[in-house]
Amino acid sequence: MAKFAFLGLGVMGYPMAGHLAKHGLSAGHDICVWNRTAAKSAAWTEEYTGRAAPDIAVAVKQADFVMMCVGNDDDVYAVAEQAIIAMQPGSVLVDHTTASAKCARHCFELAKQAGIGFIDAPISGGEAGAVGGALTIMCGGDIADYSRAEPVMQSYAKAVQHMGPSGAGQLTKMVNQICIAGTLQGLSEAVHFAKKAGLDVDAVAQAIGQGAAQSWQMDNRALSMGRGEFEFGFAVDWMRKDLKIALEAAAETGANLAMTQMVDNYYEDIQKMGGHRWDTSSLIKRLEK
């Protein structure tokens, strides 16, 4: 009987661990959770079947699979290093944090030295995807470790794919965020133009959403953008963190991300407007000042 641990019960991790407890291979089995704020772990155990650990070492020491979802590179380094020291050889650590490829490769090597598998497995789909168990997960690492961990990740995902060696998952997530940034800027200008031209934004979205302009962002954000609603979704602060990672990787590889840099600058404008926690679709606010 496999045993599981989940480290980090934030906006994404809390429901992901819940799906693992209810529907995954751990259903009815053993799952232990840990969070920096103990009250969050206590709340999780009241809602789901599982145990809360007082520290990382206790959470992971008997686990066959350890999943983690924390904040940034520094958090990954700190949590992963503590976990790897306490994990049993032959177990697998899966990191769902959006972090740098450099961070992923460091953790991979550290885990390998300890006889532990490491998969960088950033997620896409936002809070709604985590709550609905419909995330997209892009993975880097050894294929053997991925094959073992893939059925576990299916507990909270609609799509899981191995992208290549260590770091490939994080690089793929950067591609994802680059696409989203450009799409949202284009959609912002489109909605702004429609309003200035006196068109009904809802009707426009319905009409062009059936053709080549269709996208997830149009389907899920055009109407709320037209109404000026941004107090939900994926926060601007989080997007800027992700774009910073992509831009730094571009500088290392020689990739030209002119549009991404431009949109990142626009998000800085949104932050100056007080929109740190606004949804990323708030780019339109710049155009309506």
Q: Mapping DSSP to helix (H, G, I), strand (E, B) and coil, where does residue 284 land?
A: helix
Residues 143 and 213 in one domain: no
Burial class (CB in 10 A: 0-12, 13-18, 19+), 231: exposed
What is the predicted pLDDT for the residue at 239?
98
Residues 178 and 114 in one domain: no
Distance between CA atoms of 135 and 63, rounded to whole angstroms?
23
- The amino acid occupying position 81 is E
Residues 48 and 146 in one domain: yes
Residues 32 and 133 in one domain: yes
What is the predicted pLDDT for the residue at 249?
97
CATH number at residue 12: 3.40.50.720
The string of pLDDT tens digits covering residues 98-112 is 999 999 999 999 999
Residues 140 and 186 in one domain: no
Of 121, 141, 165, which one is at a domain's C-terminal end?
A: 165
Cα–Cα distances in angstroms (integers) from residue 166 to residues 106, 109, 118, 146, 242, in the given order: 9, 9, 8, 11, 18
Residues that are catalytic: 173
Residues 282 and 194 in one domain: yes
What is the predicted pLDDT for the residue at 30?
83
The string of pLDDT tens digits covering residues 151-193 is 999 999 999 999 999 999 999 999 999 999 999 999 999 999 9
Total domain count, the chain: 2
Round the average pLDDT of the chain to a whole number and report it. 96
Residue in the block written with tokens 């999780």:
44
Residues 263 and 159 in one domain: no
What is the predicted pLDDT for the residue at 24?
60
The string of pLDDT tens digits covering residues 28-80 is 568 999 999 999 999 999 999 899 999 999 999 999 999 999 999 999 999 99
pLDDT band at 25 (very low <50, low <70, confident <90, very high): low
pLDDT at 149 over 80: yes
What is the predicted pLDDT for the residue at 75?
97
Residues 267 and 142 in one domain: no
Of 134, 165, 196, which one is at a domain's C-terminal end?
A: 165
Structure tokens at 231: 């107090």
Residues 281 and 180 in one domain: yes
Residues 182 and 273 in one domain: yes
Cα–Cα distances in angstroms (integers) from residue 107 to residues 29, 73, 209, in the given order: 28, 11, 42
Residues 147 and 179 in one domain: no
pLDDT band at 125 (very low <50, low <70, confident <90, very high): very high
Residues 233 and 115 in one domain: no
Look up the pTM and report it.
0.95
The boundaries of the domain holding residue 183 are: 171-287
What is the predicted pLDDT for the residue at 289?
79
Distance between CA atoms of 114 and 87, rounded to whole angstroms?
9
Distance between CA atoms of 102 and 134, rounded to whole angstroms?
27
The string of pLDDT tens digits covering residues 195-224 is 999 999 999 999 999 999 999 999 999 999
Kindly state the average pLDDT of the residues 122-140.
96
CATH number at residue 194: 1.10.1040.10
pLDDT band at 1 (very low <50, low <70, confident <90, very high): confident
Of 165, 185, 204, which one is at a domain's C-terminal end?
A: 165
Distance between CA atoms of 156 and 124, rounded to whole angstroms?
12
What is the predicted pLDDT for the residue at 120?
98
